[in-house]
């Protein structure tokens, strides 16, 4: 087992409220935008999963869940890429799940240490987790000794099952406590069923294996020659985003708080919270290779993605100050050069820019009270 050294000067992630309570409190404060925010976010599956496009959401809401009798097919092998002395990446080309990619929509990372292999996010399914294990074994004979899940969106943890089956049910799987609670509640079942429907049963056979160990900000894990440091700075992409720094290599896995070239799901997120998280993380960790769940790693990733998000957010803040109605704001956002520069190439842009403009506007409207 790794040595644990909790940091005593930082807030415990477990002090975060549950998203439902947070949304409720925010809605109470947002007297002018309550009905609109509820409409945009929706309820249950339709709200959280609309991030993957209106077509997918309608299909999920209207279809009956019909689990396949047999497990889905094996995931094709994707050769790992070495990023640093200890860290490897299994890269996902696509940003959204479909039958062709079998749900392979987010990057998996693993760290080869003296004591064994540590996995950073386990993928969208049993099959993807099994593929990752094959790829790890192509690099090292060492066993997987720990898994870390960055947040509760299913493409980052539904592969836990494969690692628990291969390396024992007592394998430590770590996450922030609010993340564990969301996976154990409605979100876990929702993501499991949604992923199977999006992939037309390619992920069938996957079951929910939640993280079994909680972590807090500042906690460190020693795995012989490698130290991992936990980072958490509040509400960003979700209320419970864990970033994991590989100290010796100056690389940090950041989950979905920033993305390479995919528009981020902001249904559970906060724009100003994301900017505060970026600033705090960069200040604490210093120069790093930032490893996102979607897209290629980069040292300038927080700056570049932050500029894109600020093009949405700052335009919406100004619109609220000017009294510009919501139905006119999307055009203003699209004309911002920080947004326009990414509009032609960013995955999911056309399907989601209107929605995430609306969410930014409503958050700006709420903050103005």
- Find all residues with CB under 8 Å of 54, minimum gap 6, and list them: 351
Whole-number percent of the chain with pLDDT over 70: 81
Q: Answer yes or no: is pLDDT of 23 > 60.
A: no
Asked whether the beta carbons of 290 and 317 are under 8 A apart, the reply is no
Q: How many domains does the chain have?
A: 1
Residue 292 lies in a domain: yes
Model pTM score: 0.84
Residue 111 lies in a domain: yes
Q: Residue 236 sits in a domain of what CATH number?
A: 3.60.15.10
Tell me, what's the pLDDT at 34?
A: 40
Give the model's confidence band at 69: pLDDT under 50 very low, under 70 low, under 90 confident, else very high: low
Residue 335 lies in a domain: no
Q: Answer yes or no: is pLDDT of 51 > 70.
A: no
Tell me, what's the pLDDT at 150?
A: 98
Tell me, what's the pLDDT at 264?
A: 85
Asked whether the beta carbons of 150 and 259 are under 8 A apart, the reply is no
- Find all residues with CB under 8 Å of 35, minimum gap 6, and list them: none
Domain region containing 14:
3-259+271-279+288-297
Whole-number percent of the chain with pLDDT over 90: 79
Residue 351 lies in a domain: no
Residue 363 lies in a domain: no
Asked whether the beta carbons of 294 and 265 are under 8 A apart, the reply is no
**Of the candidates 82, 83, 87, the residue with the CA atom closest to the CA atom of residue 228:** 87
Residue 318 lies in a domain: no
Residue 364 lies in a domain: no
Give the model's confidence band at 369: pLDDT under 50 very low, under 70 low, under 90 confident, else very high: confident
Give the model's confidence band at 95: pLDDT under 50 very low, under 70 low, under 90 confident, else very high: confident
Q: Answer yes or no: is pLDDT of 205 > 90.
A: yes
Q: How far is CA 255 from the centre of its chain?
A: 5
Q: Is the dihedral of CA 101, 104, 107, 112 positive or negative?
A: negative
Mean model confidence pLDDT for the chain: 86
Asked whether the beta carbons of 280 and 72 are under 8 A apart, the reply is no
User: Using one digit for the tens of pLDDT, what is the confidence trace for 255-299?
Assistant: 999 999 998 889 999 999 999 999 999 999 999 999 999 999 999
CA distance 274 to 308: 12
């Amino acid at each position: 087992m790794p040595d644990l050294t909790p940091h005593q000067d930082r807030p415990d992630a477990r002090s975060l409220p549950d998203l439902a309570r947070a949304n409720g409190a925010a809605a109470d404060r947002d007297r002018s935008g309550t009905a609109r925010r509820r409409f945009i976010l929706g309820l249950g599956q339709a709200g959280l999963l609309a991030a993957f496009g209106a077509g997918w959401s309608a299909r999920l809401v209207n279809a009956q869940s019909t689990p396949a009798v047999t497990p889905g097919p094996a995931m094709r092998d994707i050769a790992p890429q070495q990023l640093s002395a200890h860290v490897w990446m299994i890269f996902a080309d696509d940003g959204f799940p479909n039958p062709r990619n079998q749900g392979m929509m987010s990057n998996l990372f693993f760290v080869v240490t003296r004591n064994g292999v540590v996995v950073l996010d386990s993928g969208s399914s049993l099959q993807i987790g099994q593929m990752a294990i094959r790829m790890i074994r192509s690099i090292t004979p060492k066993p997987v000794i720990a898994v870390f899940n960055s947040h509760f969106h299913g493409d980052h943890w539904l592969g836990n099952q494969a690692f628990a089956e291969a390396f024992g049910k007592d394998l430590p799987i770590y996450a922030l406590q609010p993340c564990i609670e969301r996976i154990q509640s409605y979100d876990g079942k929702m993501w499991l069923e949604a992923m199977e429907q999006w992939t037309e049963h390619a992920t069938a056979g996957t079951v929910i294996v939640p993280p079994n160990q909680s972590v807090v900000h500042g906690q460190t894990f020693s795995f012989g020659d490698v130290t991992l440091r936990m980072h958490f700075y509040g509400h960003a992409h979700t209320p419970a985003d864990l970033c994991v720094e590989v100290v010796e290599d100056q690389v940090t896995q950041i989950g979905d708080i920033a993305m390479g070239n995919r528009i981020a799901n902001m249904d559970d997120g906060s724009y100003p919270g994301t900017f505060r998280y970026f600033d705090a993380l960069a200040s604490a960790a210093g120069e790093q290779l930032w490893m996102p769940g979607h897209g290629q790693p980069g040292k300038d990733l927080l700056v570049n993605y932050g500029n894109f998000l600020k093009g949405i957010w700052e335009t919406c803040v100004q619109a609220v100050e000017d009294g510009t109605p919501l139905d006119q704001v999307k055009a203003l956002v699209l004309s911002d050069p920080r947004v326009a520069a990414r509009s032609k190439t960013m995955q999911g842009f056309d399907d989601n820019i209107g929605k995430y403009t609306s969410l930014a506007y409503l958050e700006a409207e709420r903050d103005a009270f």
